[in-house]
Structure 1
Amino acid sequence: MDDTDVRILNILRDNSRTKNTEIARQVGLTERAVRARIEKLTRDGVIRKFTIVTAPVGVEGIVLIGTQVGRTGAVKEKAAQMSDSVFECSGEFDVAVRLRADSLDELNRRVDELRSFPGVLKTSTLIKLIEG
């Protein structure tokens, strides 16, 4: 990866929908060269996915989940159907899930759904108050 690749990545981070022709203009390459670099960055795993950032929702929380021994993977897989941000963690809890909702009632319903998964022993929910 060279400086040009880094410049391409920075442009895509700002706006993943930037056209290759515009990227080419900004970095001084042909559109074909930019396309080839993006394909290589994707193939090499540097670019994992192109995504969007949505407008803030009403409520966001992190749900920490304690699981039965041997059930962490299954709980994590099921939780991934509800959120794009699910990860295993160490300590008192085994899985963390970021949930977004339009209201506290909706967030509570989604937390209750997580609690109903087989293998979930306990949960603790952190509500985001201020970002930044």
Structure 2
Amino acid sequence: MTFSDRSLDRIIERRKHRRSMLPPGSLLSFSPVSASLDGAFDVEGEGVLLDLSQGGCRVSSETSVMLEQPYTLIIQLPDFRRPVTVESAIARWKGTHTFGVMFIAMHQEQEQSLNEFLRYLHSNVA
């Protein structure tokens, strides 16, 4: 299922968390949380983060994801030495070379690192 610009606008209106635009060099890799029996949905890939919030992100990638399938994400943020790992996230929508992800589960330490980065971004925008 892909979305038009109008549909994406409605999704943006329903967001719970403010999304922040990211500087160049914000990267993401993803892999399935668990392997499927036949391997058909075991899509792994990489992408560029376009925006980020406490609850999710928008990604540009040449690799297409499966909607509603859980993925583990590794997010590499500029100026942060350690990547942030999201234990479980699902793709809620996808378009041509973009998709939106909702975070489902993160370890507390990883969530703190993500929040620290978001505070840094917000303080530099203001």
Decide: shared fold, TM above 0.5: no
Q: Give the shorter-chain TM-score range.
A: under 0.3
Which structure carries more helix by proportion? 1
Which structure carries more strand by proportion? 2
TM-score by length of 2: 0.26
TM-score by length of 1: 0.25
